[in-house]
Homo-oligomer: A and B are copies of this chain.
């Protein structure tokens, strides 16, 4: 029996994680509240990371075209759903470090969402347009919502088991009630503005705000009463528009305290919905509030994408300018905001900063990193 006991002890750690298909990322039971996924866009791979001691746990290959990829998480924070640009939808087990299921759901997708109850995953498509809804457990297709060829953007989940999204070409916002997953009820809001190109939902899930590319301004849908309002209708008027190298990401919009901070398209400015305008270093891409709302972090489009600036919300001015490195693509705060992870694509690095002192506390190697997503998103409406 002595040999068998050695065998036993030797094999247990592997068996505990079910012989993962790649590197062994979890050699024992562990919590999943401090996990995250980093997209490596050029190589179609992702890193599984943890934020407590800033480590890489595993690298997962074979996820296809991950340019403009995004990630949502299961409500137990064990599984990540990764939406690739090529229409690939991948369910990743972050504890076993393996791909559970992967489907190619359309030719060209740009984002996804998970339902309030965690049982449905929705994917929006550029080509051929439309939204597809899958069973989060099996990735079985449950519903296909056509949009008459219109590109779908700004897909988010909303309270009441709903998905909300915008039709770029049609200039409409649609709300899909998914209580019956195979027969969604669609409410359409028409003529909300020209060419909605992205959108976000307020942290409480009440306001859905779409940015308009075809005109100045934003369209705001109040999901409590169904009213659509135009906000910031003339924010670009009179400004000489610079060429737009990169569209801002609206899911990055910052709602801090009583203010909403918006990246101005083609301008070197962050706009506050109350009308204030804060000049910044370049064309903002992500404008993200620290979880406590005291600071707002901003990164920029080429040629200023080596820089990050920090706005103090009380002073309404820039208090810090950082130079993380070449091509800063994304920033993600730890759930309580004590640190922020920054992806620096062309330096093949993730840099972690203390958000109070702005000191660099860790650096992790990553292959052309873009999006960073932490599992705390599982508990948040619209993320």
Q: Which of A334, A338, A375 has the most CB of B within 10 A?
A: A338
Please tell me which stretch of A26-34, A144-152, A280-288 contacts chain B, meaning at least 4 of its Cβ atoms lie within 8 angstroms of it: A26-34
Closest to A160 in B: B356
> Using Cβ atoms and an 8 Å threshold, which residues of chain B touch A51?
75
Closest to A117 in B: B338
> Using Cβ atoms and an 8 Å threshold, which residues of chain B touch A74?
31, 33
Q: CA–CA, A301 to B296, complex, Å? A: 42
- Copies of this chain in its oligomeric complex: 2
A51 CB to nearest B CB, Å: 8
Known: A16-B15, A338-B117. A34 touches B76 (CB 8 A): yes
Interface status of A21 (Cβ within 8 A of chain B): no
Please tell me which stretch of A6-14, A190-198, A302-310 contacts chain B, meaning at least 4 of its Cβ atoms lie within 8 angstroms of it: A6-14
Closest to A4 in B: B4
Q: CA–CA, A118 to B356, complex, Å? A: 16
> Using Cβ atoms and an 8 Å threshold, which residues of chain B touch A26?
29
Is A31 within 8 A of B29, CB to CB? Answer: no
Closest to A93 in B: B29
A377 CB to nearest B CB, Å: 10
> Using Cβ atoms and an 8 Å threshold, which residues of chain B touch A337?
116, 159, 381
A185 CB to nearest B CB, Å: 14
Is A225 within 8 A of B33, CB to CB? Answer: no
> Contact residues of A with B, CB < 8 Å?
1, 3-5, 7-8, 11-12, 15-18, 26, 28-34, 50-52, 73-79, 95-96, 116-118, 159-161, 204-206, 224-225, 256-257, 291-294, 314, 334-338, 356, 375-376, 378-381
Q: CA–CA, A336 to B50, complex, Å? A: 23
Is A293 within 8 A of B206, CB to CB? Answer: yes
Choose from B18, B52, B95, B206 the contact partner of A118 (Cβ within 8 Å): B52
Closest to A295 in B: B159
Q: CA–CA, A74 to B12, complex, Å? A: 26
A264 CB to nearest B CB, Å: 25
Choose from B1, B33, B161 the contact partner of A4 (Cβ within 8 Å): B1
Is A4 within 8 A of B8, CB to CB? Answer: yes
Is A379 within 8 A of B225, CB to CB? Answer: no
Q: CA–CA, A160 to B291, complex, Å? A: 12
Q: CA–CA, A376 to B118, complex, Å? A: 14
A–B complex contacts, Cβ < 8 Å, 23 sampled: A1-B3, A1-B4, A4-B8, A15-B16, A29-B30, A29-B96, A32-B32, A33-B78, A34-B77, A51-B75, A52-B75, A75-B336, A116-B338, A118-B336, A159-B294, A204-B257, A204-B293, A204-B294, A206-B294, A292-B381, A335-B378, A337-B381, A376-B379
Known: A1-B4, A16-B16, A116-B338. A33 touches B293 (CB 8 A): no
Closest to A51 in B: B75
Q: A4-B8, A75-B336, A204-B293 are in contact. List 7 more A-B contacts (CB 8 A).
A: A4-B5, A7-B8, A8-B11, A52-B75, A116-B336, A160-B356, A204-B257
Q: CA–CA, A314 to B73, complex, Å? A: 31
> Using Cβ atoms and an 8 Å threshold, which residues of chain B touch A378?
33, 335
Closest to A224 in B: B314
> Using Cβ atoms and an 8 Å threshold, which residues of chain B touch A4?
1, 3-5, 7-8
Is B294 within 8 A of A224, CB to CB? Answer: yes
> Using Cβ atoms and an 8 Å threshold, which residues of chain B touch A338?
116-117, 159, 161
Is A17 within 8 A of B33, CB to CB? Answer: no
Is B257 within 8 A of A381, CB to CB? Answer: no
